[in-house]
Amino acid sequence: MNTYKILVINPGSTSTKIAVFENDKAIYSKNIKHKAEELAPYPKLIDQYPFRKEIILKELREANINISSMHAVIGRGGLIKPIPSGVYEVNKDMLEDLKIGRLGQHASNLGGILADDIVRLIPNAKAFIADPVVVDELEDIARFSGHPKFERISIFHALNQKAIARMHAQAVGKNYEELNLVIAHLGGGISVGAHKHGKVIDVNNALDGEGPFSPERAGTLPVKALAELCFSGEYTLDEVKKMITGKGGFVAYLGTNDAYEVEQKIKNGDTFAAQVHDAMAYQVGKCIAEMSAVLHGNVDAILLTGGIAYDKDFVDYVKQMVSFIAPVVIYPGEDEMKALAENALMVLRGETIPKIYQ
């Protein structure tokens, strides 16, 4: 079997994670932290990319990693236009949409840009992204909200949900495309997707206002009360947006976005923290049942993943609500770097053909 080397790049708001894989095994990884003063000179997100590129190359040199030995470079996909799931070769159209932020500005937009720029230093290698948060496989009926001015959109943890789906399929000796799954990603944001034969046909918008509340997002809110708050004159648009994403959920109720800290509060006898914790689990269970109805009850398994899946009490609460629907299987944590490397590896091995972004 051939050995392929893959460079993985995952930019965050205050960090850039990099890793080198030989096939599916990580042989090097580094989480490069960026201080606020280092990023301050760059007024726009796109302005950061030369700075981050040089740091990546410096770290690789210091680790004695020969960049020219890479067979592929894959970056975290950003807020481009909605696309079907898959691996995409970075091209001119994608670069333009990443630079302007077609659906918004987020550090992950730099992933494809950095991959493309670095791959130019490597003979015969190609740059890819895979399963960005804007993966859209919704059935048309799922796009209706209740008013034509508000179409439901697909923004969710596609990379991890798809990787966990394939992992589970392999564990049960099936192809992902043979299964019906409900997958709940439980992290800083929470997304619950209905996977029907390899496609996510319905999912909550986990970024800005649908589904369960999470450690830092408000999820679905009572619409009339929200509208009245918006016109109360007490809050700016930016402040309301922050209530929805960033300062909702645990942050709003308990003053922290750290789920482990909430666990400790509960262990120390904080009854209100316990109520909020259980309410989040309750909303996850309710959303799982909704997505099971999307699949007409024909669910092979319910998969719980993400960092909060390590919380036994949380998981047990959800299990009590939904285990009557299908077996509940726990895949705690997430490994975005490995998921990206596996997507690139499938291309290098000829197991999948990269899609064209246009």
3-class DSSP state for residue 11?
strand
Question: Residue 40: its pLDDT value, please?
Answer: 87
DSSP 8-state assignment for residue 7: E
Q: Angle CA(330)–CA(332)–CA(338) in degrees, nearest 5? A: 120
pLDDT tens-digit map of 252-290: 999 999 999 999 999 999 999 999 999 999 999 999 999
Query: Residue range 18-45: average pLDDT?
Result: 92
Q: Name the band, by pLDDT with cuts 50, 70 and 90, for residue 45.
A: confident
Nearest to 304 by CA among 273, 340, 270, 280: 280
What is the CATH code of the structural domain delimited by 158-332?
3.30.420.40
Beta strands 328-332; 301-306: pairing state: parallel
**What is the CB neighbour count within 10 angstroms for residue 178?**
12
Give the ranges where the chain is alpha helix by DSSP (H): 36-39, 49-62, 92-100, 109-119, 158-171, 223-230, 237-244, 249-254, 259-267, 271-294, 312-322, 336-348
**What is the CB neighbour count within 10 angstroms for residue 86?**
19
Q: Using the predicted structure, report yes or no on whether residue 347 has a pLDDT greater than 90.
A: yes
CB contact at 8 A, 134 and 83 = yes
Query: Residue range 222-248: average pLDDT?
Result: 96
Q: Using the predicted structure, report yes or no on whether residue 107 has a pLDDT greater than 90.
A: no
Which residues of the chain are in CATH 3.30.420.40 domains?
5-136+337-348, 158-332
Question: Residue 205: its pLDDT value, please?
Answer: 95
CATH class of 5-136+337-348: alpha beta
Residue with tokens 């990099």: 18
